[in-house]
Structure 1
């Protein structure tokens, strides 16, 4: 009987696993044949998020030269490196351009085709354009993957879940808001993938409360402005008259930081330095549960600060007042208070010192006397951010970005560390293209987008939604529509995907934050006793092994690539042993 592998999820993560199977098969698998069943209603390669049939107005949030699906020698893995083009090399576009998602979808489709073509003879991929709804089967026997459109299951020796971002059932707050909206004839759009939202329910000219200022917010703004016929004339937005008025706020009250608009030259900070494999090993060896704020965050702060000051001293020595070797020695030995005092003594300008608390919450304690005063001040804030993120004189920011990538790759080994870190990382390192924030400035001046402020509160009362913020004391806005501009949290208990809920009911473990618990070594699904399932694997956002993305910047270690390689090798080793037993 031919060996069979089912991969549920045909997006970039599933494609990455197939690429790693192709790369490792010559070493690990000499079987006579293998059927790989790829299950996903969306196109292989692109999947749902990057599919080519979405609006051409939507861009990637990375430069084209910073997007690759191929490994290089910076990836720590057991398998061979198989290089390939970045998005900009493949598409022939400017490396500094922000490509449209349609183009990225085409690139991912091509990568998928190349990965399939590289598989050894006798390995066949079958795409099933439907959903997998359940996985059953004994730990020591073939698994059954049940599909939505057929009565009989696919039989599989192994199953890999590469599900990507998923829809979720509403949590308690969202259910209450939805019920309130139905009762009062209001509009409530819950957390979801913005490209799939029904935005036609938001009428022109009417106020809309938007909660969230991240990437989903940027997509929402694009679709409700240019998507409704508006256009830009230089730095001026020319409305179509069909736009709603968006009153947007969040916990921080400011948009994510713009992508950095220059490259790195000169000596890079040697990373990791204070948060590397040895520190992660020590954290994993602790007898008690690791607390992120207590045990991990101090190491993160030290690592980011080291990168920042390394760059400042090496690239901008005129803005420092101490020899680097002296600073480095004292920085390495000091605690948080001692390092702050050291920076104060060695770096004369406070603007050149790294203040992560201020970066994270720039509006803490800030108050404005009127809503209009807040608009002007927040436009100035965004303008300063844009200027800084495109000025190499502030290149320590780019060093911190590289340190964030290094830290992310290390923290994956800790599993579920809570959602705060992922939000902080995205805010600093995964924000929108600079041109999008330029557009946001124009929309603010045109009155189409209005900033609410930090710690925005939303109340459902008096037949409307009311938003307010302590940033503007005494001010509030009423609206008949509320949009939650963020992706759903991928928790097992609220996943709309029945496969995950059934898996959980069947004994798969969840973390305190509701993620699917997996073995960090190879992605095998863990049961509630912490025992890995021999035949089930999972990768990506619904798991506690979630990485920064299925594709990454070239030459930055690519933790997702490392995970894909480990899973592929485990799969091939299992299937090879199965074949040997069958022959015997």
Structure 2
């Protein structure tokens, strides 16, 4: 009988796995035959998030030249490099364009079809447009993958879960807010993928509380303004009259930082420098394990500082007070943050040129405004300053930090469980909105359709309404009949609506304290409670403790997801080869 491989999830991660299977098959599995079954109710390539059937108003948050599905020689992997076009090369668009998600969906579909075409002729691929409900079967035997609406399971020698973002049952807070909404006839939209949310209940002219200031909010903002017939004329917004008034806040109280609007020139910082494979190996070898804040973060902070100051000293030496060689030697020798801080104060005269990670993470910490209107002016000034800095190459040390963040992430995925804070911090600095979206925020704010609430936004359900407040503006609060949680659901196994993952959890698959599925970082095999890898089940994606920034990446930045795909593909091909002997 021909060996059978089932891949659950046919979006960018599943397509990337197919490409790596095709690239590695000549070396590891030539001429043996294999049937691959892709299980996903959404079209292969784009999957749910990048499907072509969504609003043309929604963009990617990366330049087209910074999006690729192809490996290059910067990816640390054992398989062969198979280069290919970036999104902008494939679509023949300006590389600085922020492409629409529909275009990205077409690119991903083309990539999927190319990956399938690259498989050996004796390997078949079949797409099953259904949901996978559960997996059964003995550890050492064939697995059964049960599909929605199908009486008999797919038989699989190996199963790879390549799921993306998942829906979740509400936690205690969200359940309480939903109950209040039902009791008083309010509108409560829980965390969700914004393009899938029904926004029709948000009424024109009425206040809507929005908790979350990241990319989900940007989508919401677009769909409730341009999506309702408004338009931008220069720096002004012309409303259609169908827009609600958005009151937005979050933990930080500010939007994610703008995408950087200039290209790299000159030498890149030699990364990794202070947080590379040797440091990761040392952390993994610790008998008592490692703690992120105590053991990992100091190394990460030193690496990001190195990337920042390397760029500052080499590209803008006139703003420094010592030579790079002298600074680098002292920076490497500094043994604690106080010593590093004293060195930076002496070597970098202007505070605007110093890297302050705490201020970047909590820009409104301790900041108070006398009135709500004062805060509107203050935050508009903050956004304008951010736009100015992120589009000014004289502050290109920020781009050095961006490269440092990518390098760090590539190392962190090997450590497994990191907690939730790091991913939010990374997204805020490295995965923010296009500059034009922030300019649109400013226009909506000036038009009175977007109001800023502040940091540590609190929402209560009382007096038959939802009420929002923030310590940023003491004494201010706003009431509304509608509340939108503008963020994706947390990927916790205990609350996921995905029955397959719930069944895995019930069957003994291990999870982190945050509820992520534990996997072997080397090849993605699912671990049990004793830390033993399952011989036939693999998992990759944001619901695992080896999650990466995304299934595709910026060219020539190491591509952590590509490395994972390659490791899993090679392990799978080797295991299937063993099974056919």
TM range (shorter): over 0.9
Paired position in structure 1 for 2:369: 368
What's the CA shift string for 1:362-389, capped at 9, x where partnerless? 1111111111110011000000000000
For 1:207 and 1:30, locate their aligned partners in 2 and report how far apart those are by CA, in whole Å: 62
What's the CA shift string for 1:55-80, capped at 9, x where partnerless? 00000000000000000000011100
Contact 1:30 1:576 in 2 (8 A): no
Alignment of 1:311-460 (within 5 A): 311-334=311-334, 335-460=336-461
For 2:312 and 2:298, locate their aligned partners in 1 and report how far apart those are by CA, in whole Å: 21
Which runs of 4 or more aligned residues in structure 1 lie more than 4 Å from their structure 2 counterparts after TM superposition?
Answer: none
Paired position in structure 1 for 2:569: 568
Paired position in structure 2 for 1:6: 6
**How far is the alpha carbon of 1:359 from its aligned partner?**
1.1
For 1:300 and 1:224, locate their aligned partners in 2 and report how far apart those are by CA, in whole Å: 39
For 1:575 and 1:563, locate their aligned partners in 2 and report how far apart those are by CA, in whole Å: 18
Matched, 1:160 2:166: no
What's the CA shift string for 1:488-512, capped at 9, x where partnerless? 0111111100000001111111111
SS where residue 32 of structure 2 aligns? coil
SS where residue 467 of structure 1 aligns? strand
For 2:264 and 2:528, locate their aligned partners in 1 and report how far apart those are by CA, in whole Å: 44
Alignment of 1:529-544 (within 5 A): 529-544=530-545
**How far is the alpha carbon of 1:288 from its aligned partner?**
1.6
Which ranges of structure 1 fall in alignment gaps of 5 or more residues?
none
SS where residue 127 of structure 1 aligns? strand
For 2:561 and 2:531, locate their aligned partners in 1 and report how far apart those are by CA, in whole Å: 22
Paired position in structure 1 for 2:521: 520
For 1:193 and 1:467, locate their aligned partners in 2 and report how far apart those are by CA, in whole Å: 23
Which ranges of structure 2 fall in alignment gaps of 5 or more residues?
none
Matched, 1:468 2:469: yes
For 1:30 and 1:408, locate their aligned partners in 2 and report how far apart those are by CA, in whole Å: 34
**How far is the alpha carbon of 1:287 from its aligned partner?**
1.4
**How far is the alpha carbon of 1:31 from its aligned partner?**
4.4
What's the CA shift string for 1:23-74, capped at 9, x where partnerless? 0000000343111000000000000000000000000000000000000000
Contact 2:24 2:570 in 1 (8 A): yes
For 1:70 and 1:434, locate their aligned partners in 2 and report how far apart those are by CA, in whole Å: 26
**How far is the alpha carbon of 1:579 from its aligned partner?**
1.3
Contact 2:31 2:120 in 1 (8 A): no
Contact 1:58 1:101 in 2 (8 A): yes
Contact 2:22 2:115 in 1 (8 A): yes
Paired position in structure 2 for 1:246: 246
**How far is the alpha carbon of 1:289 from its aligned partner?**
3.0
For 1:517 and 1:91, locate their aligned partners in 2 and report how far apart those are by CA, in whole Å: 38
SS where residue 201 of structure 1 aligns? coil
Alignment of 1:178-327 (within 5 A): 178-327=178-327
Contact 2:460 2:467 in 1 (8 A): yes
**How far is the alpha carbon of 1:323 from its aligned partner?**
1.1
Alignment of 1:102-121 (within 5 A): 102-121=102-121
Which 10-residue stretch deviates more, 361-370 or 123-132?
361-370
Which 10-residue stretch deviates more, 544-553 or 31-40?
31-40
Contact 1:525 1:538 in 2 (8 A): yes
For 2:208 and 2:288, locate their aligned partners in 1 and report how far apart those are by CA, in whole Å: 46
Count of aligned pairs: 580
For 1:199 and 1:258, locate their aligned partners in 2 and report how far apart those are by CA, in whole Å: 26
Contact 1:181 1:187 in 2 (8 A): yes
Paired position in structure 2 for 1:137: 137
For 2:251 and 2:505, locate their aligned partners in 1 and report how far apart those are by CA, in whole Å: 32
SS where residue 517 of structure 2 aligns? coil
For 2:289 and 2:575, locate their aligned partners in 1 and report how far apart those are by CA, in whole Å: 32
Contact 2:30 2:120 in 1 (8 A): no
Contact 1:31 1:579 in 2 (8 A): no
Distance 1:292 1:389, change over 3 A: same
RMSD: 0.6
Contact 2:210 2:486 in 1 (8 A): yes
SS where residue 199 of structure 1 aligns? coil
SS where residue 146 of structure 2 aligns? strand
For 1:107 and 1:456, locate their aligned partners in 2 and report how far apart those are by CA, in whole Å: 38
For 2:130 and 2:153, locate their aligned partners in 1 and report how far apart those are by CA, in whole Å: 12
**How far is the alpha carbon of 1:5 from its aligned partner?**
0.3
Alignment of 1:48-67 (within 5 A): 48-67=48-67
For 1:31 and 1:576, locate their aligned partners in 2 and report how far apart those are by CA, in whole Å: 11
SS where residue 494 of structure 2 aligns? coil
Which 10-residue stretch deviates more, 401-410 or 571-580?
571-580
Paired position in structure 2 for 1:486: 487
